[in-house]
A and B are shown apart, each in its own frame.
Chain A
Amino acid sequence: MQVSCLVFLPLLTAFLVIMTPRRFSYLIRWISVFGTGLHLALTIMISFLFWAEAKGDGELLRTSLVFKLHLVEKISWFDSLGIQYFVGIDGISLTMVVLTSIIIFAGVLASWNVKERAKEFFALLLILVTGVFGVFVSFDLFLFFMFYELAVLPMYLLIGIWGTGPKEYAAMKLTLMLLIGSAFILVGFFALYYGSGFYTFDLIKLATANFPVDFQRWVFPMIFVGFGVIGALYPLHTWSPDGHSSAPTAVSMLHAGVLMKLGGYGALRIAVFLLPEGAKYWGLFFMGLTTINILYGSFGAIWQKDLKYFTAYSSVSHCGFVLFGISALNFMGMKGAVIQMFSHGIMTGLFFGLIGMVYGRTHTRIISEMGGLARVMPWLATCFYIGGLASLGLPGLSGFIAESHVFLGGFFGHSLQSVGQSGALMKTFTLIATLSIVVTAVYVLRGLGRVFQGPIENAEFANLEDAMLSEKLSTGILVVVLIVVGLYPSILIDVIEPAIRPVLNRLAGGL
């Protein structure tokens, strides 16, 4: 019951927003904030419930190789097709749900200033987030796919109506690319459904199937690339810079912060978990692609003049870490990938939120037109620096934990495929990828320095005000999370580890 509440609370809030007459625009905002705030509270409650259940299992949970789900709800739905309403929570889901809950709350707070057609804006935002929550807790592939599409589509209107710049082009490009990805995913799902011989979409049951090796080798890239599109896998990432920079603040926060994580999540949960042989066959190939991802994104960010493009390219680079860690196919790498999903979600959410706030004041996003803004908006500048430092992997912030895991996984991890040459290749890829740490430091420090340091270049900027209360709240939450995870990472790791063991067990050939 709790998990269903988690999924449908945003939908209920969206319904309330739709029912509110258009002229009470402040009421619409309050309903949205209250709804998402309640949702955050519910998420925290569920985290405690999860802990309680997990503790009950005690030591067993830490070493258990069996897939363990909590708070399960299972209702048969389209019976003859073997489709169920099957939701539940494990460590990875919980991490992602907490992330989404935080980002949407911060996002709603950050879009306090949306006045134009506010009702539709908040309603669509909440419907979108319903889809995201649905994806993270579904363990039936049909349900998963349904929520996935629900999460992708409202994006078209959100960017098309409230966006800036070439918004219609960006919106169409983003929607179509993501849906072509989902077309591949759908074909893959059908292959799983019929290939398993079980005629079910139940993820747990499918995980007990013995797929033939040849079958896995052609289905795995289908599903992985399908999810790779939304996870910004090179060379299918091109929707991301355009989409993120055209989207309104809350939407870029949500999209870069959460939606891109659907890719990593699906790749890990479905592609690698169900098709281990396929994963071993293609692992190195995708590791190579994601190495390009990481470097291409960070080099791309150096050249950007627009703050949003700057962040979007850095997202491409950071999302590369997620898929990189997953394709390393070992414990460290996958753990790092999940932490990176969380950490990057919070970090990018913070970035895009801050950019929206700065843009709202200066009305420009061009880096060279700004300068010295730290004098007039110290709060925003501080938050921006903390986010930037997390992004370049400064120890003490969450980015360091994630990236160090991923690199260790890539370099030292005993990969299941690391026999002879491929082990050396993995080390090479990792070494190349670590270059991005330097490049990231270059673009982050240079970019932030231009924007915030030095004298105030434009006289008009001298009288700008710092963040107001809702903005302080929105950015404050995100900064606190970044620091907490950076200083006390076990809070995440303890939850994630038991959820990753079953995946490794599959990879090692166990059932």
Chain B
Amino acid sequence: MLPEIIVLITAFTLMFVDLFLKRETRYFLMGIPLGGLALAFISVFFLSNRKSFGGQFSLENIDLWLKVFFILCAFVIAIASFSFILGESKETCHKKQIYSFEFLTILLFNLSGMLFLVSARDLLTLYVSLELSTLPLFILTAWKRDALSSEAGLKYVVLGALASALLLLGFSIFYGLTGTMDLVLIGRSTNVSPLFWFASVLVISAIGFKLTLVPFHMWAPEVYQGAPTVVTAYLSVASKGAGLVLMFQIFFRIFGASISSFYFAIALLSALTMTLGNVVAIVQENIKRFMAFSAISQAGYLIMGFLGGFHANSQAVLQGLSRTHPLIALSMMIGLFGLAGIPPLSGFIGKFFLFSVAASSGFYWLVAVAAINSVISLYYYLRIVRQMYIEPVLETTVFPMKLSMGGLLGSLVVISVLLGLVPVFYETILWTWKN
């Protein structure tokens, strides 16, 4: 439980220290979240596989990887948000009543929620940690406090509350059916009854909301567009990751025995989501909405999110980027190709693995749909590549590039290539899969 504790302590420390420091010395404050996250990152490697709190909190190999992933995401977002936090002038802060470092505090709360979610083995822990990770996201979405951002926040709250109500109702039915909170015990002791199906539908809808599966995706474009860009990036990676963890917990621990009866529903949701997300993404002009639709069809828009951080809101602004900022253009291209699943980038082996899972259960038609969808997605990624590499330079597009951002992008690119070539990560997942 060490990383969770460290993250929470960091969050509280940051909150209090921020109160007593003057604005000028605030640069010093940057060290606290980064240091805390680094410490949490290191502490993960000292964890061992065991259960605590009577089995409500437990650790397996795959959980460690997920924790590492979430902490890294938060770390990257923290660095990326510095210019966003420090960039606000004193007057605007005062006028809007923004206390900049709250941003990071809230981010850390969200992170702790996701870390708990990974290890939860109990309905109540699962629900509470999910809420702990979702509520901060509502606040972060509305952070800019302009019309768009507030609207996005409100939409997110209302729909999010609905989803979590559905989830809670589903959970309480599971509890009523089996009389236990323990996920694995529920899985073992459920009899397939109409009430069980009803509860499953409720829970799957809630998961669908988290993962922006069609037809539960309607909130995503508004929220992605309205939220500050850094938050959009975070939403599309970490929040999706949390949704996947939730799905993993429920499908493999509760539905474990009867999972094959859900195969068709999953395949259908997945085919619908890919196709609709892709097709609608083609016609989007606003790059954040485009990201949203594209993220509906697949998670992981990290690198693009940063580019949005340079206030590029229309695709046309990227024109000639390869000549004004070769490094950004290159990393964006590699990021896009990674998403499209082009080898040897991380997206390729990931997709290959997913396809092979679908094929192993005989869903060859889904593999075909998915493969064709990835070609469609490549179409609009290539359009962006064209803007950056083929179209001539527009003078208005020049914006300064910070060294820290360059380093960040570079390392993300390297990670993306390494993940595609080095088997360790996928071997761990597969190992867990088979056991």
A interface, CB within 8 angstroms of B: 77-81, 142, 145-147, 149-150, 153, 156-157, 160-161, 168, 172, 175-176, 179-180, 183-184, 186-187, 190-191, 193-194
Q: What chain A residues lie within 8 Å of B423 (beta carbons)? A: 77-79
> Is B395's CB within 8 Å of the partner chain A?
no
A472 CB to closest chain B CB, in angstroms?
Answer: 33
- For residue B375, CB closer than 8 A to chain A, the reply is yes
A215 to chain B, nearest CB (A): 11
Among the listed stretches B1-9, B10-18, B236-244, B352-360, which one makes contact with chain A, having 4 or more residues with CB under 8 Å of it? Answer: B352-360
Chain A hits for B359, CB < 8 A: 187, 190-191, 193-194
A222–chain B nearest beta-carbon distance, Å: 9
Known: A172-B386, A183-B374. 19 other contacts (CB 8 A): A78-B349, A79-B423, A79-B427, A80-B427, A80-B430, A80-B434, A81-B353, A81-B430, A142-B352, A146-B344, A150-B343, A160-B389, A172-B379, A175-B382, A183-B368, A187-B359, A187-B367, A187-B368, A194-B360
Asked whether B389 lies within 8 Å of A179 as measured between CB atoms, the reply is no
Band of interface residues on B: 20 to 34
**A191 to chain B: which residues have CB within 8 Å?**
359, 364
Can you identify 18 A-B contacts, CB atoms within 8 angstroms?
Answer: A79-B423, A79-B427, A81-B353, A81-B430, A142-B352, A147-B343, A150-B342, A156-B385, A160-B386, A168-B390, A172-B382, A176-B378, A183-B371, A183-B374, A187-B364, A190-B355, A190-B356, A191-B364
A488 CB to closest chain B CB (Å) equals 39
> Would B372 and A183 count as touching, CB distance under 8 A?
yes
Contact of B375 among A147, A157, A183, A190 (CB under 8 A): A183
With the chains together, A145 CA to B371 CA distance in Å?
13
**Which residues 373-392 of B have a CB within 8 angstroms of A?**
374-375, 378-379, 382, 385-386, 389-390
| Closest Cβ neighbor of A183 among chain B residues | B371
Contact B374 A146 (CB under 8 A): no
Residues of chain B with a CB closer than 8 A to A142's CB:
352
Provide the bound-state CA to CA distance between A180 and B430, in Å: 28
B426 within 8 A of A: yes
Question: Which residues does chain B contribute within 8 Å of A81, judged by CB atoms?
Answer: 353, 356, 426, 430
- Kindly provide the distance from the CB of A48 to the nearest chain B CB, expressed in whole angstroms: 31
Decide if A153 touches B371 in the complex (CB within 8 Å).
no
Report B332-366 CB contacts with A as 1/0, cut-off 8 Å: 00000100001110001100110110011000100
Residues of B in contact with A (beta carbons under 8 Å apart): 337, 342-344, 348-349, 352-353, 355-356, 359-360, 364, 367-368, 371-372, 374-375, 378-379, 382, 385-386, 389-390, 423, 426-427, 430-431, 434
How far is A190 from B368 in the complex, measured between Cα atoms in Å?
Answer: 10
Considering only CB atoms, which chain B residue lies closest to A131 in the complex?
B343
Partner of A146, one of B348, B355, B386: B348
Report A-chain residues with C-beta under 8 Å of the C-beta of B430.
80-81
* 10 nearest A-B residue pairs (beta carbon): A183-B371, A146-B343, A190-B359, A80-B430, A160-B390, A179-B375, A78-B423, A187-B368, A180-B375, A149-B343
A145 and B349 alpha carbons, distance in the complex (Å): 11
Rounded to whole angstroms, the CA-CA distance of A78 and B349 in the bound complex is: 10
Find out whether the CB atom of A161 lies under 8 angstroms from the CB atom of B389. Answer: yes
The docked-state distance in angstroms from the alpha carbon of A193 to that of B357 is 12
A126 to chain B, nearest CB (A): 16
What's the Cα separation between A168 and B385 when bound, in Å?
A: 11
A168 and B427: CB pair below 8 A?
no
Q: Which residues from chain A contact B352 at a C-beta distance below 8 Å? A: 142
Q: For the complex formed, measure the closest distance between the CB of A80 and the CB atoms of chain B, giving whole angstroms.
A: 4
The CA of A180 and the CA of B368, in the complex, are separated in Å by 10
User: Do B390 and A180 touch (CB < 8 A)?
Assistant: no
**Contact partners of A168 in chain B: CB under 8 A:** 386, 390
Minimum CB distance partner of B349 in chain A: A78
Name A160's closest neighbour in chain B (CB-CB). Answer: B390
A291 CB → nearest B CB, Å: 29
The answer for the CA separation of A80 and B434 in the assembled complex, in Å, is: 10
Q: Cα distance A134–B6 when bound, in Å?
A: 47
Q: Are A193 and B356 in contact (CB under 8 A)?
A: yes
Cα A63 to Cα B371 with chains together (Å): 41
Q: How far is the CA of A186 from the CA of B337 in the complex (A)?
A: 17
The residues of B that contact A78 with a CB separation of less than 8 Å are 349, 423, 426-427
Name the residue of chain A whose CB is nearest to the CB of B368. A187
Write out the residue numbers on chain A whose beta carbons fall within 8 Å of the beta carbon of B385.
156-157
Bound-complex Cα distance A142 to B356 (A): 12
- Residues on the A chain within 8 Å of B343, using CB: 145-147, 149-150
Contacts of A176 in B (CB 8 A): 375, 378-379
Docked pose: A194 CA to B364 CA in angstroms: 11
Query: Contacts of A156 on B, CB cut-off 8 Å?
Result: 382, 385
CA distance A216 to B371 in the complex (A): 21
Most buried by A among B364, B374, B389, B434: B364
> In this complex, what residue of B is CB-closest to A148?
B343
**Residues of A contacting B375 in the complex (Cβ-Cβ under 8 angstroms):** 176, 179-180, 183
Task: Find chain A residues with CB under 8 A from B353 CB.
Answer: 81
Contact B434 A186 (CB under 8 A): no
In the assembled complex, which residues on chain B have CB atoms less than 8 Å from the CB atom of A160?
386, 389-390
* Min C-beta distance of A226 to chain B, whole Å: 10
The reply to whether B390 and A161 form a contact with Cβ atoms under 8 Å apart is yes
B419 to chain A, nearest CB (A): 12
CA distance A160 to B349 in the complex (A): 27
| Least Cβ–Cβ distance between A259 and chain B, in angstroms | 16
A205 → chain B, closest Cβ, in Å? 17
| A190–B364 touching, CB < 8 Å | yes
Residues of A with C-beta under 8 A to B344: 146, 150
CA of A149 to CA of B374 in the docked complex: distance in angstroms? 13
Q: Are the C-beta atoms of B382 and A186 separated by less than 8 Å?
A: no
Alpha-carbon distance between A187 and B374 when the two chains are bound, in angstroms: 13
A77 neighbours in B (Cβ, 8 Å): 423
CB proximity of B233 to chain A, nearest CB, Å: 25
Closest to A145 in B: B343
Shortest C-beta distance, B413 to chain A (Å), equals: 13
Residues of chain A lying within 8 A (CB to CB) of residue B371: 183-184, 186-187
The residue in chain B whose Cβ has the minimal distance to the Cβ of A163 is: B390
A-chain residues with CB within 8 Å of residue B431 when the two chains form the complex: 80
B331 to chain A, nearest CB (A): 14
Give the residue name and chain of the B residue nearest to A218 (CB).
Answer: B364
A194 to B362, CA, bound (A): 9
- In the complex, what residues of B have CB within 8 A of residue A79's CB? 423, 427
Chain B residues within 8 Å of A80, by CB: 427, 430-431, 434
A contact residues around B434 at 8 Å (CB): 80
